[in-house]
């Protein structure tokens, strides 16, 4: 469902300090996959995320989502299929609004009009699934929650509008070990029970071991897969694609 064909990203192209952050990445992610991406700082992981979010158009190559080329699409357009949660707990929620208001914004995608806001029951029941007690105080200001609660809320918000893919960029990085485990379990549930494809960047090696059915490593902009298992959730998947290329390094040439 996600396909990158020969995608390269070059920052500051043509300038002296030109930086090739992603080199000829050819990747495929199929429905139901849980992809873990690891790699050192500055390797290009977030750059890959930005491409998937359409924040950044690939310098060369094409990004396909559901078989459609995403060239020229904006972040807001691609948001219909893609949810995201990033490292900063405040980036995924609206701190000044109550939990309920947060959920009501998230429960819909795209432009909205003058209907009075409502909060779908599904969102609240998902919230109670967490066991953090958030559903009891729906009028709490989201900014007053703890980091872990914020991240959990952000995850719920990212999935209640039913995206096809959930992109996570070090979403447990600012949490304490206990909260991160909770959030990771939620991530697994999202993947296994709802069949949402998850792409997750992490620096946490135990998590990288424990979770996910596909493991990718990025080094200096080159992506390769080092582990593959069939996805746990096959309910929504169409026959998972074979390996992208076991241990195959992309040709280290840059545009």
Ligand X SMILES: Nc1ncnc2c1ncn2[C@@H]1O[C@H](COP(=O)(O)OP(=O)(O)OP(=O)(O)O)[C@@H](O)[C@H]1O
The site for ligand X (CB under 6 A) is made up of 11-12, 19, 21, 39, 41-47
**From the CB of 207, what's the least distance to another protein, in Å?**
23
Q: Assign 3-class secondary structure to 145-158.
A: CCHHHHHHHHHHHH
**From the CB of 154, what's the least distance to another protein, in Å?**
9
197-201 sheet: strands from edge to edge: 82-85, 165-169, 197-201, 34-38, 214-219, 222-228
Q: Which listed residue (17, 111, 121, 239) binds another protein by CB under 8 A?
A: 111
Q: Counting contacts by CB under 8 A, is residue 97 touching another protein?
A: yes
Q: Counting contacts by CB under 8 A, is residue 174 touching another protein?
A: no
In sequence order, what are the residues at sequence separation of 6 or more whose Cβ sits closer than 8 angstroms to the Cβ of residue 143?
A: 90, 93, 95, 96
Q: How far apart are CA 113 and CA 198, in angstroms?
A: 31
For 155, phi and psi rounded to 5 degrees? -65, -45
Between 224 and 231, name the residue whose CB sits nearer to ligand X: 224
What are the beta bridge partners of residue 197? 165
Q: Counting contacts by CB under 5 A, is residue 46 touching Mg ion?
A: yes
Residues 228-247 that bind another protein (CB under 8 A): none
C-alpha distance across the termini of the chain, in Å:
26
DSSP three-state, residue 106: helix
Q: Assign 3-class secondary structure to 154-206.
A: HHHHHHHCCCCEEEEECCCCCCCHHHHHHHHHHHHHHHHHHCCEEEEECCCHH
DSSP string, 36-84: EEE--TTSSHHHHHHHHTTSS--SEEEEEETTEE-TT--HHHHTTTEEE
Question: For 131, which DSSP code?
Answer: T
Between 37 and 156, name the residue whose CB sits nearer to Mg ion: 37
Q: Counting contacts by CB under 8 A, is residue 113 touching another protein?
A: yes
Q: Counting contacts by CB under 8 A, is residue 220 touching another protein?
A: no
With CB cut-offs between 5 and 8 Å by kind, which of ligand X, Mg ion, another protein, none does residue 1 bind?
A: none
With CB cut-offs between 5 and 8 Å by kind, which of Mg ion, another protein, ligand X, none does residue 11 bind?
A: ligand X
Question: For 126, which DSSP code?
Answer: H
Q: Which listed residue (13, 68, 117, 248) binds another protein by CB under 8 A?
A: 117
**From the CB of 87, what's the least distance to another protein, in Å?**
13
With CB cut-offs between 5 and 8 Å by kind, which of another protein, ligand X, Mg ion, none does residue 236 bind?
A: none
Centroid of chain to Cα 139: 27
Q: Counting contacts by CB under 8 A, is residue 121 touching another protein?
A: no
Between 104 and 180, name the residue whose CB sits nearer to ligand X: 180
**From the CB of 219, what's the least distance to Mg ion, in Å?**
14
**From the CB of 216, what's the least distance to Mg ion, in Å?**
14
Q: Counting contacts by CB under 8 A, is residue 173 touching another protein?
A: no
> Which residues of the chain form contacts with another protein (CB under 8 A)?
53, 74-77, 79-80, 82-84, 90-97, 101-102, 104-106, 108-117, 143, 158, 161
């Amino acid at each position: 469902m996600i396909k990158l064909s020969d995608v390269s990203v070059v920052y500051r192209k043509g300038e002296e300090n030109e930086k090739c952050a992603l080199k000829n990445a050819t990747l495929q992610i199929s429905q139901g996959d849980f992809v873990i991406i690891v790699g050192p700082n500055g390797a290009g992981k977030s750059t890959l995320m930005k491409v998937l979010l359409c924040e950044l158009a690939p310098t060369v190559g094409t990004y396909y989502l559901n078989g459609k080329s995403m060239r020229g699409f904006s972040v807001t357009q691609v948001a219909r299929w893609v949810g995201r949660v990033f490292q900063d707990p405040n980036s995924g929620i609206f701190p000044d609004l109550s939990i309920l208001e947060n959920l009501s914004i998230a429960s819909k995608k795209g432009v909205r009009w003058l209907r009075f806001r409502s909060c779908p029951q599904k969102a609240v029941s998902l919230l109670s699934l967490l066991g953090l007690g958030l559903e009891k105080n729906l009028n709490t200001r989201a900014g007053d929650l703890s980091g872990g609660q914020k991240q959990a809320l952000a995850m719920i918000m990212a999935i209640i509008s039913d995206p096809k893919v959930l992109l996570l960029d070090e979403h447990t990085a600012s949490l304490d070990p206990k909260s991160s485990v909770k959030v990771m379990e939620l991530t697994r549930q999202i993947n296994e029970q709802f069949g949402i494809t998850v792409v997750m960047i992490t620096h946490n090696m135990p998590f990288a071991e424990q979770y996910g059915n596909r493991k990718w490593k990025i080094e200096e902009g080159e992506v390769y897969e080092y582990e593959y298992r069939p996805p746990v959730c096959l309910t929504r998947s169409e026959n998972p694609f074979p390996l992208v290329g076991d241990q195959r390094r992309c040709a280290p040439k840059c545009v």
